[in-house]
Amino acid sequence: MTAFSLPLDDDKAKRVFSLSDFDFHLPPELIAQHPAPERSSSKLLDGSSPQPADRVFRDLPQQMQAGDLLVFNDTQVIKARIFGEKSSGGKVELLIERVLPGHRVVAHMKVSKKPPIGATLYMGRDANAALKQSETGFEATLIDRWPDEKGALFCFEFSAEPHALMAQYGHMPLPPYIERQYDGSATQAEIAEDEARYQTVFARHPGAVAAPTAALHFDDALLGQLKDKGVATASVTLHVGAGTFQPVKTENIAEHTMHAEWYDIPESTQLALHACKARGGKVWAVGTTSVRTLESWAKSGQSQGDTQIFITPGFEFQWVDCLITNFHLPKSTLMMLVSAFAGYEHVMAVYAHAVAHKYRFFSYGDAMLLRRSSSLST
């Protein structure tokens, strides 16, 4: 594991990075299981200069200037985790990744023995469903693997409109490192907390199976303070997929294949971005999903579509000047992204500081502020 002590000229040497370079020791007790009491009361590790500084998230307006632009991901997390049974009575769990036309969905399937093509599953049956006698769940017919016969996902046809069924029978798709009863028997207090807090205050386009977690720290009061300071805001949409938690399995990171996620940059946001650059303001991406969206547009010229962009050290950023993000898993693609953005050595030093000062990690954890490595103050 990385010991956080690297040569000062490490980035300048244009080294070739391997998966193990992005590993670090994370004490399990630092993995946040619940959100902070208030959204903006989380800690903020300011890594915008060579020496990290400890702040509170509600201090963010003090770090920004009038004319800067905050870019949020306004995706909405859907209740994509649904429990059910096979005709044999065997338990099955679906995690809906994407809704297709014709009541069809693309999903991950967790089951002891995969059913054959054409099999019917009986979904919406779990400890928390509390079904009335008139409510019997719904049926899901296995159509095929997706996107082809070698795909890791599965295509199902639901017996009714998928979004309505998820709203009635689904559960928030919390990440695997947040310890809840995934058989559906989490407490009502936990369910209520997760439904309220694993969602941003400005979520409006349903489709994500994981929250854009850096944006969870913003509340209405903080947004009002930023507006009063003259900070502009704009939104993009990237429907975060479960693949965001997919581990990198190859030591040679160039061999890793990124999952696809759908994104959209509306014309109003495009205009806001160009206006910000024209007036000399800085573009602040809230979360790695906003970074991936903006840089996908810069790279492809397409303002809407699927992206599999994989950002690793050496990537040349076109739009983003500053990044607000949470702390990520060791050896993850997101560790590679932030290292590409702020410099590998600097990021590892920031993470060492976070561990030493007991910052809370991952989705319900604290946040950090980074500037693009070429603009770090000295």
Retrieve residue 356's tokens. Answer: 């030493």
Residue 312 exposed, middle or buried by CB count within 10 Å (0-12, 13-18, 19+): middle
Which phi and psi (to 5°) does residue 93 adopt?
Answer: -130, 130
Q: Does residue 311 lie within any of the structural domains? A: yes
59 and 108, same domain (yes or no): no
Residue 187 in any domain: the answer is: no
* pLDDT exceeds 90 at position 125: no
Using CA atoms, how far residue 323 sits from 47, 72, 218, in Å, is: 10, 11, 14
Q: Position 177: which residue type?
A: Y
Q: Is residue 44 part of a domain?
A: yes
Q: Is residue 134 part of a domain?
A: yes
Q: Which of 135, 170, 205 is the last residue of a domain?
A: 170
Mean pLDDT score of the chain, rounded to an integer?
Answer: 91
The Cα-based distances of 40 to 60, 221, 271, 289, 290 in angstroms read 9, 9, 29, 20, 19
pLDDT tens digits, one per residue of 345-376:
999 999 999 999 999 999 999 999 999 997 54
Together in a domain, 118 and 233: no
Domain assignment present for residue 263? The answer is: yes
- 100 lies in a domain? yes
Other CB atoms within a 10 A radius of the CB of residue 75 amount to 31
pLDDT tens-digit readout, 271-321: 999 999 999 999 999 999 999 999 999 999 999 999 999 999 999 999 999
Residue 174, CB half-sphere, CA atoms under 13 Å: how many? 26
Residue 269 has pLDDT above 90, yes or no: yes
Query: Taking 70 as the threshold, does the pLDDT of residue 135 lie above it?
Result: no
Domain of residue 61, CATH code? 3.40.1780.10
C-alpha closest to that of 67 among 235, 277, 221, 220: 277
Are 26 and 352 in contact, with CB atoms under 8 Å apart? Answer: no
Q: Rounded to whole angstroms, what are the CA distances from 117 to 107, 154, 155?
A: 14, 10, 10
The reply to whether 233 and 358 lie within a common domain is: yes
Q: DSSP code of 251?
A: S
- Cα–Cα distances (Å) from 337 to 1, 82, 120, 289, in that order, read 19, 31, 41, 10
Residues 103 and 64 in one domain: no
Q: Is the pLDDT of residue 139 over 60?
A: yes
Single pTM value for the model: 0.90
The answer on 116 and 63 residing in a single domain is: no
Residue 68 belongs to what domain range?
Answer: 19-77+196-375
Give the residue-averaged pLDDT of 164-174: 92
pLDDT at 15 (0 to 100): 84
Q: What is the pLDDT of residue 11?
A: 46
d(CA 158, CA 92): 15
Q: Are residues 255 and 289 in the same domain?
A: yes
